[in-house]
């Protein structure tokens, strides 16, 4: 079970405020020389008990905490290595026949054809200019 961690600081603070109010009431009504009232004595006793409880909690917090025991794991036995598989020889495949070339014009043929067309256009233009 965990140790209670709530502090007593707030209770002591409230008790101190009530005690102060009771002391001020007595001083204003009867004077400072009058002995403490019954209410003041009860509050002083409660304050003393709260402070003692706070001191014991502080002392308990300084004590070493119990630690969990380390778990000792049992080592597993080593696995036996598997036997190597026999090497399979792959059947050699016959090389594939090359695909026939497509019927298309190569880049150089295209350039030559274009140059011929340009030259023919120049000659045709010159012939038509002579009539």
Q: What is the pLDDT of residues 107-122, one digit of tens each?
A: 999 999 999 999 999 8
State residue 3's pLDDT score: 53
Residue with tokens 């009860």: 42
With left for phi above 0 and alpha for psi between -120 and 50, is residue 114 left, alpha or beta? alpha
Residue-averaged pLDDT of the chain: 86
- Residue 19 carries which DSSP code? H
pLDDT in tens, 33-58: 888 889 999 999 999 999 999 999 89
Q: How far apart are CA 49 and CA 42, in angstroms?
A: 11
Give the pLDDT confidence of 63-79 residue by residue, as tens digits.
998 899 999 989 889 88
Q: Label residue 86 by pLDDT band (50, 70, 90).
A: confident
Question: What pLDDT shows up at residue 1?
Answer: 44
Whole-model pTM above 0.75? no
């Amino acid at each position: 079970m965990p140790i209670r961690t709530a502090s007593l600081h707030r209770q002591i603070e409230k008790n101190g405020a009530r005690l102060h109010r009771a002391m001020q009431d007595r001083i204003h009504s009867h004077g400072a020389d009058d002995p403490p009232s019954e209410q003041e004595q009860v509050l002083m006793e409660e304050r003393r008990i709260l402070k003692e409880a706070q001191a014991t909690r502080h002392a308990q917090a300084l004590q070493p905490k119990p630690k969990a025991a380390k778990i000792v794991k049992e080592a597993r036995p080593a696995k036996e290595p598997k036997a190597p598989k026999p090497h399979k020889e792959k059947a050699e495949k016959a090389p594939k026949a090359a695909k026939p070339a497509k019927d298309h014009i190569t880049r150089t043929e295209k350039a030559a054809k274009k140059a011929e067309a340009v030259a023919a256009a120049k000659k045709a233009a010159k012939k038509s200019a002579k009539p």
